[in-house]
């Protein structure tokens, strides 16, 4: 992921002029119109109850794999051997309760057509390292893969390096497709709990990302992604510090994303940040993003950014939808549309007790903003 764009923030006079009320229309300067987005397809459907296609189950603790799960032994090879054996069969690799130390520089590399099932008391823990870039579990170039349950524990408190931001719990990439991640917790990672790049038909359901250093989830490329009934909390340590950051690099497109029924709380950055960096205008795209029925509270506290953070921030984006969310008690704005947001629909949200504006447009126009309930925000109404 590229370096973070600098959002800045308007002065008090600009904020007062551009503040939008509960049923306000578009305003702001006439930013250059971006190309029209493709028509919205049917919303992507979450796969929150995936079923293995074969009854075959192998335990990583059984022979010939013999993983220890004792919190001391390097179990990387044992788990990988089980994955290699079950890959392509439709069966399941079972990880019983225990702490399994994993070389995150090597990663557990999942195979086609398989399920990795972790017991509720099972943890895959990164062996401390000093690398800028690591991944505990990697799903790359494969399809029809499920990852179920358990905890992916990064090395944040024991990391021996001081640079980089790419230490991930679970990374989905390499044109992977039909991937379901259900009930997985990713925490204490040097970078992100979860990362999705160049992947299609991906569901994250009932996942938890907590106290990761960069953000809970990054999405930089893909099509047909659903994030549902999940929690993204306490991201803090290196910018952008978001719950979810949707930010394609040059040459990448994010399309057809639904974020629904999720909680975003205590992140030092935004609850959700969505936008194409200005330097990549015309080179990177985000289409058909829907943010619906989520809760954003207490984000933006202690941010490393030079400007205030928001419950939801959009920039340089076309035609996105923000509906029915509860956005309250954030340290900056409730919803912030800035620098070339156009064609957005912001409707039916409850926005209260944020320190700055409830809804603010800045250098953006042509958006439909109606039917929102605003109260108690630091800049009235």
Q: Tell me the pLDDT tens digit for each residue of 219-273.
A: 999 999 999 999 999 999 999 999 999 999 999 999 999 999 999 999 999 999 9
Q: What does the alpha-carbon distance between residue 246 and residue 107 come to, in Å, rounded to a whole number?
A: 24
The per-residue pLDDT for 381 is 67
Res. 200 pLDDT band, cuts 50 70 90:
very high
In eight-state DSSP terms, residue 5 is P
Do the beta carbons of residue 293 and residue 322 sit within 8 Å?
A: no
Q: 3-state class of 80 per DSSP?
A: helix
Q: What does the alpha-carbon distance between residue 236 and residue 242 come to, in Å, rounded to a whole number?
A: 8
The per-residue pLDDT for 284 is 94
Nearest to 274 by CA among 320, 231, 333: 320
pLDDT mean over 64-71: 98
Please give the C-alpha separations between residue 74 and each of 64, 101, 130, in angstroms, as whole numbers. Answer: 16, 5, 17
Do the beta carbons of residue 102 and residue 71 sit within 8 Å?
A: no
The per-residue pLDDT for 43 is 74
Dihedral sign (CA 49, 144, 201, 195): positive
Q: Tell me the pLDDT tens digit for each residue of 109-122.
A: 999 999 999 999 99
The per-residue pLDDT for 22 is 35
Radius of gyration of the chain (CA): 21
Res. 7 pLDDT band, cuts 50 70 90:
very low
Please give the C-alpha separations between residue 153 and each of 73, 107, 128, 140, 214, in angstroms, as whole numbers. Answer: 15, 13, 11, 20, 15
The per-residue pLDDT for 25 is 34
Please say if the pLDDT value at position 141 is more than 80.
Answer: yes
Q: What does the alpha-carbon distance between residue 27 and residue 159 come to, in Å, rounded to a whole number?
A: 46
In the chain, the domains with their CATH numbers are 28-375 (2.160.20.10)
pLDDT mean over 52-56: 96
Mean pLDDT of the chain: 90
Q: Which residue has the tokens 């917790």?
A: 185
Q: Kindly give the pairing relationship between strand 185-187 and strand 345-347.
A: unpaired
Res. 176 pLDDT band, cuts 50 70 90:
very high
124, β-bridge pairs: 100, 152
Lowest mean pLDDT among 13-17, 107-111, 273-277: 13-17
The per-residue pLDDT for 380 is 77
Do the beta carbons of residue 204 and residue 237 sit within 8 Å?
A: no
Nearest to 353 by CA among 329, 322, 325: 329
Res. 18 pLDDT band, cuts 50 70 90:
very low
Q: What does the alpha-carbon distance between residue 378 and residue 355 come to, in Å, rounded to a whole number?
A: 4
């Amino acid at each position: 992921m590229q370096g973070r764009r600098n959002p800045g923030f308007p002065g008090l006079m600009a904020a007062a002029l551009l503040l939008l009320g509960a049923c306000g229309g578009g305003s702001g300067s006439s930013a250059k119109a971006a190309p029209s987005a493709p028509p919205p397809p049917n919303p992507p459907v979450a796969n929150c109850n995936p079923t293995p296609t074969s009854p075959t189950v192998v335990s990583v603790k059984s022979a010939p794999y013999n993983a220890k799960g004792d919190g001391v032994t390097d179990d990387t090879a044992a788990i990988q051997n089980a994955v290699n054996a079950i890959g392509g069969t439709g069966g399941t690799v079972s990880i019983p309760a225990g702490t399994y130390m994993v070389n995150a520089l090597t990663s557990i590399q999942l195979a086609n057509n398989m399920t990795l099932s972790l017991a509720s008391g099972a943890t895959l823990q990164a062996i401390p390292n000093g690398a800028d870039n690591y991944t505990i579990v990697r799903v790359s170039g494969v399809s029809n893969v499920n990852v179920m349950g358990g905890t992916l524990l990064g090395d944040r408190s024991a990391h021996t390096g001081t640079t980089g931001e790419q230490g991930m719990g679970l990374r989905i990439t390499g044109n992977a497709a039909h991937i379901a991640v259900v009930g997985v917790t990713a925490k204490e990672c040097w970078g992100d709990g979860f990362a999705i790049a160049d992947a299609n038909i991906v569901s994250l359901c009932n996942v938890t990302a907590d106290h990761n250093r960069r953000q809970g989830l990054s999405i930089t490329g893909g099509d047909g992604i659903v994030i549902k009934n999940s929690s993204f909390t306490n991201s803090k340590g290196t910018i952008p510090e978001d719950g979810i950051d949707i930010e394609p690099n040059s040459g990448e497109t994010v399309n057809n994303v639904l974020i629904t029924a999720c909680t975003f709380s205590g992140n030092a950055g935004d609850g959700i940040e969505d936008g194409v960096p200005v330097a990549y205008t015309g080179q990177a795209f985000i289409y058909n993003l829907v943010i619906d029925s989520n809760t954003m509270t207490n984000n933006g506290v202690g941010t490393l950014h030079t400007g205030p953070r928001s419950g939801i921030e959009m920039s340089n984006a076309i035609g996105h939808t923000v509906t029915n969310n509860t956005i309250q008690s954030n340290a900056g704005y409730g919803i912030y549309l800035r620098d070339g947001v156009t064609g957005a629909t912001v409707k039916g949200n409850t926005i209260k007790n944020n320190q700055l504006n409830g809804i603010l447009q800045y250098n953006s126009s042509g958006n439909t903003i109606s039917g929102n309930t605003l109260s108690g925000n630091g800049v009235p109404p």
